[in-house]
Amino acid sequence: MKRKKFFFVGLVILFVAPLVLAQDQKKEISVDEAMKIYCITWINPAYYESDRHTGIKIMNKDGTFEWYRNETSEDPTWLGEYEIEKSWIDKDGNVWLNMIYWFGAIKKYMVAKISDNGNTLEQVYFYHVYPTEVNSEVRGYFIMKKK
C-alpha cells in the first residue's frame, strides 16, 4: 500500500509541478517587440500642474524622449535618452521593461508595466538600482494612459 501511495504522489509531482511552476514564469520578448508597445504618446492630465511629473510623455523609437507639461506646451520640460535592457510578458499578459533613462548627466533606473490591453503604463524609477516592482506608494511612481 505504501508503495502505491508513494508511486501516486511521485506521478502527481512529476506532472503537476511543471504546470504550477510555469504559471510564475515570464516570457522574454525582444526589445523590438517591446518598443512597438512602449514607443507611443502617454498622457495623464492630472500631472499638468504637478512639479514632479509632466503630463505628456512621447517615447520615440530612436531611444529618445520628449516630456511636455500639457497639450498646449510648445517646448518640452524634459528631453533625454533611454534604453530598454530587458523586456518580458508576465502570466497575466502585462509587458514589463527594465530601462535606463538619461536626463543629461542624471541616470535613472526604471521598471515599467504596460497593461495587457496596452492602454496603461505604470513606471517606477530609482537612481542606483532597478526597482523590483511597480509600487504606487513610492515617490518615483507614475501612471499614464495611451493617448
For residue range 19-69, list pLDDT tens digits in order: 344 445 789 999 999 999 999 999 999 999 887 678 999 999 999 999 999
For residue range 67-109, list pLDDT tens digits in order: 999 999 999 999 999 999 999 999 999 999 999 999 888 999 9
At residue 4 the predicted structure's pLDDT band, cuts being 50, 70 and 90, is: low
At residue 5 the predicted structure's pLDDT band, cuts being 50, 70 and 90, is: low
Sign of CA pseudo-dihedral 23, 26, 29, 35 = positive
Percent of the chain with pLDDT over 70: 82
Work out the mean pLDDT of the chain and round it to a whole number: 86
Cα–Cα distance for residue pair 81/136, rounded to 1 Å? 24
Looking at residue 33, its pLDDT comes to: 97
Domain regions of the chain by residue span: 27-146
Mean pLDDT across the stretch 106-116? 96
Statement: residue 112 has pLDDT above 60: yes
Residue located via cell numbers 527594465:
98
Looking at residue 104, its pLDDT comes to: 87
